[in-house]
Amino acid sequence: MTQKIRFVDTGKSEFFATVRKRVDAYFKENNISKNANAAMWAKTTFFLGGLVIIYALIISNQFSPLVMLGLAVLLGMFAAFIGFNVCHDAIHGSFSANPKVNKVLSLVFNVIGANAYVWSITHNVVHHTYTNIPGHDEDIEVAPGLIRLSPDEKVTWMQQYQHLYAFLLYGLASLSWVFRKDFKKFYQKRIGQYDNSTHPKGEVFNLFFFKGVYYVLFLIIPLIVLDITWWQFLIGFVAMHLAEGLVLGLVFQLAHVVEGTEFPSPDEEGNIEEAWAVVQMRTTANFARKSWLANFLCGGLNFQIEHHLFPRICHIHYRPVSEIVKKTAEEFGLPYIESETFGGAIASHYKMLRKFGKEAYQESILSRKNAAMVANLNV
């Protein structure tokens, strides 16, 4: 059974109470809603409308296979951006103060191939609570045995090359999500220490119904209406998912597996002797915080620190909130981990892949050699 984790604030930290008070004051003093504003609705219209238009252009069968291939790649990227910019906020309940609006926009997540209910468990509950804690946060268990993203995971021979192939495997994330991951997580008895053994009957229906809708829209209809061979369709379908998966995988990993982030381990009693919010500051990182393009495309996931502290605030507000959080973290002597650019974050993640892969494997080989030498000397 998975060890039960408790956050024991032995330092009596006032960080979270202080930063929350300051953030609340920012919204109150400026008379700003914490939910979506006009800019957020414009983004939503752009990405949802873009997805529909790109899909319609492909289905129109008016373009050459090469052009349709390019459109398929763009379609996959737009699906990822919708997940970031629209569905992520909606599932957290931060898009709108109206739960019905959040519910409707959450269902878009189902239409593009994922499952909002499963995500609400694995992400909202488990990942946000037990960030970067091995054995609990399954976001750092991408492909066990192939990709090692935490110091507690066993080192394998293959992982010494993970810095060379990890980005390619990230591209498979979307395909796994559509055909495997949601079903596996839905019927998994426990996710970390979360009891996942029972679900509302309506969610069982939603899982299979919306997967069916996705398969009809993105498999059956294209095969019927497009004047292409089955293998041309397969290339386009896989290319779409590789583009979507790569965008998803990169953005997710840059938030928690970069230089400076920690992977806390509980003591024998399951205690982590720091406040939950302090743990978030040590395990989470931002990137390209001042980039307009990153902010527009990533849906606030490049403000991962602010998102983890304030998941019920719409991401459209994270830029000014980040200044408050950073200043408060400095006052309390806490880390504020960030890469100034997207490229810098990629480079930092690459270094971590080498550290947890090639370097860790070489250290394990050296450790075994030293142990063998000691054993021989004792004979």
What lies within 8 Å, CB to CB, of 275 at 6+ separation is 7, 9, 11, 13, 15, 16
* Per-residue pLDDT, 11: 86
How many Å separate Cα 370 from the centre of its chain? 39
The reply to whether 58 falls in a domain is yes
The reply to whether 329 falls in a domain is no
Question: By three-state DSSP, how is residue 276 classified?
Answer: helix
Which residues share a beta bridge with 73? none
* Per-residue pLDDT, 87: 96
Q: Where are the alpha helices (DSSP H) in the chain?
A: 15-29, 38-59, 65-82, 88-92, 99-111, 116-119, 128-129, 162-170, 173-176, 182-186, 201-215, 221-225, 230-253, 276-283, 292-298, 304-309, 318-331, 342-354, 360-378
The reply to whether 253 falls in a domain is yes
* Per-residue pLDDT, 333: 96
* Per-residue pLDDT, 29: 97
The reply to whether 28 falls in a domain is no
The reply to whether 212 falls in a domain is yes
Q: How many domains does the chain have?
A: 1
Domain coverage including residue 239: 6-13+35-322+336-370
* Per-residue pLDDT, 295: 93
Contact call for residues 314 and 89 (beta carbons, < 8 A): yes
The reply to whether 331 falls in a domain is no
Contact call for residues 262 and 283 (beta carbons, < 8 A): yes
pLDDT averaged over 10-residue windows placed end to end, the chain, 379 residues:
79 94 98 97 97 97 95 97 96 97 96 95 92 86 86 91 93 93 93 88 95 97 95 97 93 93 90 94 96 94 97 97 98 97 96 95 84 65
Encoding tokens for residue 321? 């909130």
